[in-house]
Each structure stands twice: as C-alpha cells, then as structure tokens.
Amino acid sequence: MLTEWCRIPTSGARAVAPFEVEGHSLVAIPQLAYDVPGQPPHMNGGDSDTEMLILRRTADGYEPFQTVPAPGGEDAEFFRIGDRSFLATASIRTGHGPYHFDAESTVYEWTGSEFAAFQRFPTFAAKQWRHFVIGDDHFLALAQGVDPPGVDLPNVPSHIFRWDGTVFRPFQDIPSRWAYNWHHFTLDGNDFLAHADHIGPSRLYRWAGREFVAHQDLAEQHGRAFATFHADGDDFLLVGCIASPSRLLRWDNGKFVERDVLDGLGTREFAVHFPYVVRVNFILGTPAAPTTALTSQLYRWQQGKLTQVAEFPTSGGTDVAVLADAGGALVAVSNSLSADVRFRTDTVIYRLRSA
C-alpha cells in the first residue's frame, strides 16, 4: 500500500512541509545537524549550523530550489495571510559543541521568486510553529523549551503570537517545560488548541474569546503529537507519546475520553488521510543509546476502530505529511538518524494506494 516514490538526501531532517506557492509545488525540510568527521555518534551531537532545504517537485522526484539559514532546524510551517505567503522555521540550537539553545527562529516571506527573512524571534530550544485562524485573527504558536535531568537551564513557556496587520506580536504564554507540538481544531462551535509537552502534562486549551484557558489534560507526560478526524458520527483525537502509550480519544459531552491504545512506543508524529492514519516513530531507548531503525505504521479506520494495515521502515522518523499529485496521494516521511546514529539519512516519499 506504501511504495517508495523517491528519496531526498537530508541530514538530521526534523520535519517535512509540502506546500504550493505561485505554481510551484515545494517541500521544506529543516535539518537538525550535519555529521562532524571524527566525532563519535550521538543523536544530540553534530554541527547544528545548518540550512533548511526547499525543493521543487518534478515528474519523478524533487530538485533543489532554495536554501535558507535555519540552524538546528526543527520545524517548518507554511501559511498565508491574505495574498502574502510565509514560511516559519524553528531552531532548537546553534553551534557544534558547546550548543546554545537561545537561538533565533525566523519567519520568511515569499517575494515572488524566493523566500526572504521577514521577522526574527528570540527562542529557546524551539520545536514547532503552528499557524491558525480564529475569526479574523491570525495566530502563530511556538512550542519551545528543554529541561534535561541534572542540567540547570532556564525554564521558558511556549508562546502564542497574534498578527497585528504588520508583524506578529506576543499574545499569550502557555506553561511548558519541554514542549514539542500544537494542534488547532474546532469542535462543537469552540476553538481548541492542544499543546504537547515531554515532562509536564500535554493539555487541551479552549478559546474563551480573549485568551486560551485550560480545558483538560490529555497525557501525563512524553507528549509529542496530535491528530483529529471524524468517523461514524464521532470526533476523535489521537495523542502521540514517545515513552508512554499513544491513545485514541473520543469526544463525549464536552471532554475527550479514552477509546483505544495503540501498540508500541516511540510515536513522533501523525498524518490523517481518511480513512488512513500514518504514524511515524522516532526512537526507542535513551538518547545515549537509541534504537533508531524502527517500523512505523499505516492504519485504516474500519469497523469502528483503527486497524493496522501496513508497516514501513523509518530511521529516526520525525515527521509525516500527505500531499497529492496527478497520480494520487503521496506520503512524505522525514528521517533524522541512521541505524548507526549518524545524521545523514534520506527523507522518503511514498505512493499511497488503497487496498
């Protein structure tokens, strides 16, 4: 059901963001690090003074289009405001040892021929941007922070910024210790924003008209990703965790309740192409001794549940996105670590064919 369509050479790829702009079918791939000759393998090593790749789709793959500075690249988020197009990049760190987590993260704007720097943000261990709209307001949410045991680092909240017509301005802080992800969705006439945290609880927030307020906790810790879908008259939320079980929740009288538990650990990201759900797994074990060569899963919603219908190999898998061309659906998967814990490994694009 998933057949390899093409490979893209990448180094520590942490996200894969396909988008269309002025007739170009592009994909942005931020890269965490390059391998340093002679340096022992370590998933938190390498040279993080990296660039983000922007590639253009061709008939049989992707070709280079542009690179932009995005040191310690963790995420890319494409969005539009009116007739303007933007590409936000999240930088977790700079340097090649020692590393600095107080890095700038940059939003680029499309000029008509390329992306140019538009607004720079001071960030700390930035992991992900998410753009979303409520009414007439455009928001840009930043998940950030890191709190490793035994290391004294400043704790910072995640931030939500709001567009003022010219630039993004600080709007609201969201408590976090080691944040990874956001997911915005609407349900029962309300706007919700899910926030994933590794150490603290992953929490669902509800828009209360002037700010986001805590609605319910979704996972105690190890949060990584979310996805929503509607099936058989119900609304569902997937909560992905890396070192705890990932779960499927069902909306019930204003709250999410547990419906099912997915087998295995290591979840990093989901993508929904209903009735299919793709789950990408990152590592098992610890950063000091990770197992990176894993299998990730393709599920199909059938008979009222998610049923695994296929597996595919990933190597430190970090992100997944579904896009389309004339031949149907494509599934893009970013891989960040080889089996021997080196950063140089390919991002893979698969063709998805229904059974």
Q: Give the model confidence (pLDDT) of 286-297 as tens digits.
A: 999 999 999 999
pLDDT at 355: 67
Can you give the pLDDT at residue 151?
75
Q: Which of 126, 142, 173 is the last residue of a domain?
A: 126
| Residue 150 falls inside a structural domain | no
Residue holding tokens 């509800």?
206
How many of the other CB atoms lie within 10 Å of CB of 191? 19
* Average pLDDT along the chain, 355 residues, taken 10 residues at a time: 97 98 97 97 97 96 98 98 98 95 97 98 98 98 91 88 98 97 98 97 98 98 98 98 98 98 98 98 96 98 97 98 94 98 98 87
Q: Which amino acid is at 144?
A: Q
Indicate whether 227 and 117 sit together in one domain.
no
Total of domains in the chain = 2
**Domain shared by 226 and 353, yes or no:** yes
Alpha-carbon radius of gyration of the chain:
19
pLDDT of residue 168: 98
What is the spatial distance between Cα 292 and Cα 324, in angstroms, rounded to a whole number?
28
* Secondary structure class of 51 (helix, strand, coil): strand
Please report, as a single letter, which amino acid is at residue 138: H
Q: Is residue 180 part of a domain?
A: no
Residue 54 is part of which domain span?
A: 6-126
User: How many C-beta atoms surround the C-beta of residue 7 within 10 A?
Assistant: 14
65-72 long-range contacts (CB < 8 A, ≥24 apart) are 65/24, 65/26, 66/114, 66/115, 68/106, 68/108, 68/115, 68/117, 69/106, 70/30, 70/31, 70/106, 71/103, 72/32, 72/33, 72/48, 72/99, 72/103
**Chain segment 324-352, per-residue pLDDT in tens:** 998 999 999 999 999 999 999 999 999 99
Residue 49 lies in a domain: yes
151 Cβ contact partners less than 8 Å away, ≥ 6 residues apart: none
Would you say residue 304 lies in a domain?
A: yes
* Residue 152 pLDDT: 78
CATH of the domain at 324: 2.130.10.10
Q: Give the end of a domain, one of 97, 126, 155.
A: 126
Half-sphere exposure of 209 (CA within 13 A, CB side): 0
132 found inside a domain = no
